[in-house]
Amino acid sequence: MPHVTTTAHAASSVLVDRLTSQSPSATWMRLAGVVLATAVTALAAQFTSPLPFTSVPFTMTPMAVLLTGAALGARRGALAQVMYLAAGAAGLPVFAPSVTLPPGALRLIGPTGGYLLAYPVAAFVVGMLAERGWDRRYWTSLAAMLVGLAIIFLGGVSWMTAAFTHSWTLAAAGGLWPFIAADILKAAAAAMILPRVWRLV
């Protein structure tokens, strides 16, 4: 029975659990990991490029959301993204810089609000899949990343449709098709990272 318990625990652990498992301050280190994931998301948002034909900028944020969600697990990954949104809503400069998108809490109801609000959900789902071992092999890691990416796009395009364009076709033209190829490539790159780290540890 102890052997079964140990095996089940190992199968459900994520990368941050494995990296901190031998530390006497593991709980604090995992909390620090949540804060670090929030900071990584904020940093990724600064690498942005506005596009002239849409209000949605090109950013590295989705890649950060997916990676940190997988590394932290479902609950901690979602918490990191909730903290990111809270920091942005409070007025901290963590959202993608923009002269056209509203600042602070208004960003959450602006054209890109659906993408932002989907971040905790995407991180939770990717983290849940990682807890089931999907992040340990490339193809399952890629599948997890693509599921998370689909959640982000679904949230973003659905919000744009409901609140702004009132047309899924128009919303997809400005918020999906210009980004999908590049974001799939980013997801493919992100999917390589975690299996390699697992092999090292």
Task: Give the CATH architecture of domain 2-200.
Answer: Orthogonal Bundle (1.10)
Say whether pTM exceeds 0.85: yes
Residue 51 DSSP code? -
DSSP-based three-state secondary structure for 58: strand
**Residues pairing with 58 in the sheet:** 49
Per residue of the chain (201 residues), what is the pLDDT tens digit? 444 333 344 446 899 999 998 888 999 999 999 999 999 999 999 999 999 999 999 999 999 999 999 999 999 999 999 999 999 999 999 999 999 999 999 999 999 999 999 999 999 999 999 999 999 999 999 999 999 999 999 999 999 999 999 999 999 999 999 999 999 999 999 999 999 999 998
Q: Which helix (H) or strand (E) holds 100?
A: none
Identify the pLDDT of residue 12: 64
Question: Which of these, 49, 48, 57, 50, lies nearest to 175 by C-alpha position?
Answer: 57
- Summarised one tens digit per residue, pLDDT across range 121-158 is 999 999 999 999 999 999 999 999 999 999 999 999 99
Asked if 111 contacts 57 with a C-beta cutoff of 8 angstroms, the reply is no
Q: Whole-angstrom Cα distance, residue 140 to residue 191?
A: 8
Give the phi and the psi of residue 27 in degrees, each rounded to 5: -60, -45
Element of type H or E holding 73: none
Q: How far is CA 101 from CA 88, 98, 116, in A?
A: 13, 6, 13
Q: Give me the pLDDT at residue 23, please.
A: 85
